[in-house]
Amino acid sequence: MRKLKMMSAAVLSLSLLLSGCGNSTKEGQSSDGKKTASSEVKITLLNSKGEIQAQLEEAAKEFSKENPGTTLEVIPAAAGQSPFEKVSSMYAAGNAPTISMVDPGDVKKFADKALDLSNEKWVKDAIDGSLDDAKTEDGKILAFPFAVEGYGLIYNKAVLDKAVGGNFDPASIKTRKDLAELIKKIQKTGVASNLQSPMDWSLGAHYLTIGYSVQSNKFEEVEAFLTNLKEGKEDLTKNEKLNGLLDTFDLLKENNVNKKDPMSGTYEQGPELLGKGKVGLWFMGNWAWPQIKGFDTTNGNYGFLPVPISDNPDDYGNSQISVGVTKRLIIDKEQNSPEQQTAAKKFLEWLVYNEKGQDFLVNKANIIPAFKNITLEPQDPLAKSIKAYMNNNKTLRSMVTLPPDHWSQVGAFMQQYLDNKIDRKQLLKQIEGYWKSQQ
């Protein structure tokens, strides 16, 4: 009797175990949403912009309120985790988010899992070029442009006003020589001229890639340049534009407030030094505004300067700053039900056309939207500055679809260069080597 009891208990627990596994594999394909779709649709959004998590949750509540029967849950990706890593692990678990916020370079990796969005209403309102890297070869649009971001040399206007003795005009800096003079003028007022932060993502993904963007104002030619690099046909030591950019880097390095110990800097140091007016210039992007705001001493008088690459004011890149779509949303079609997909499309539309959606994007999350129909003016000075460059067509196209480890590998080379561990020639050879290994 007792034996029987034990046996049955063991069998029961085993069968539980087995059925538990069976379930998850079978239903991984069709999540709970499918069964209850008629009454309630629950969709999820994976957020990889940690700084707007709270605002996004607010927006999700608004959206759910306006669309009864639909709930939107925002899942944060852990800080420092790449969105690709998070999304691919969720796919592997059979639990893919309905909407995933990914980096532009990841979109094509999810090509067979992402819903075709070509017929959405917002496609025609997207700003020029903002959908280019979300298209498949046969012209299908797979991703929604969520945020436009830009970077360059952020200046503290109070410091620069004092340095030039009057009202500083960002358009007056057109060449490396202008920049060098500006740096000298700032230093004369007893303030350090600039900060060059040593983060690999900043150096590898942002600074150095300007050197790719400025190769040509036609994007096809930039792409051809990268293909040549991969095939080892490009001699970077003879590349005038990239060398010009690095000459400017030398200038920034020479006058860096951290010059004594360049690798000791942190991202957190930047907003503080710039906000408090202890440096005049900092190479960074508009995402730094919330942090700069915390230390602001100039009533929000900041803006961007281009990173000049030569002494000829007409050269492409000397009056442009780098701007691009840096986050995209894709909708999953594999593990989410059609009802969930429709609800997700509705959310994208809500962001672009609903007043509250627009308010969330521009005012709450400080995002520069990639849509022409959104006329709300950005609140923060850095976004305003980028908008101004965009309106004047003074933008370089950011290199957002490079190989996924470019920022890390090339960032490490740039750090070595910043720390004077390698010289220019070694740096360029290492970059060439990196590209050759990408074949």
Q: Minimum Å distance from CB 91 to another protein?
A: 6
Choices 160-168, 249-257, 385-393, 414-422; region in contact with another protein by CB under 8 A: 414-422
Under the binding rule (CB under 8 A), the answer on residue 110 touching another protein is yes
Q: Minimum Å distance from CB 7 to another protein?
A: 7
Residue 314 Cα distances to 106, 251, 309, 311, 319, angstroms: 35, 20, 11, 9, 8
Nearest to another protein of 82, 216 (CB atom)? 82
Binding another protein (rule: CB under 8 A), the pick from 8, 13, 24, 237 is 13
Under the binding rule (CB under 8 A), the answer on residue 94 touching another protein is no
Nearest to another protein of 263, 376 (CB atom)? 263
Nearest to another protein of 85, 223 (CB atom)? 85
Q: Minimum Å distance from CB 206 to another protein?
A: 17
- Total chain residues near another protein (CB under 8 A): 35
Under the binding rule (CB under 8 A), the answer on residue 164 touching another protein is no
Choices 30-38, 87-95, 143-151, 365-373; region in contact with another protein by CB under 8 A: 87-95
What residues between 19 and 38 interact with another protein by CB under 8 A? Answer: 21
Task: Lay out the site mask for another protein across 266-295 (x = CB under 8 A, - = otherwise).
Answer: x-----------------------------
Under the binding rule (CB under 8 A), the answer on residue 247 touching another protein is no
Binding another protein (rule: CB under 8 A), the pick from 261, 294, 297, 425 is 261
Computed on alpha carbons and rounded to an integer, the radius of gyration of the chain in Å comes to 25
Under the binding rule (CB under 8 A), the answer on residue 168 touching another protein is no
Could you tell me if 331 and 345 are in contact, meaning their C-beta atoms sit under 8 angstroms apart? yes
Under the binding rule (CB under 8 A), the answer on residue 14 touching another protein is yes
Nearest 5°: phi and psi at 260? -60, -35
Q: What is the contact surface with another protein in residues (CB under 8 A)?
A: 6-7, 10, 13-14, 17, 21, 82, 84-85, 87-88, 91, 109-110, 112-113, 198, 200, 260-264, 266, 403-405, 408, 412-413, 415-416, 419, 421
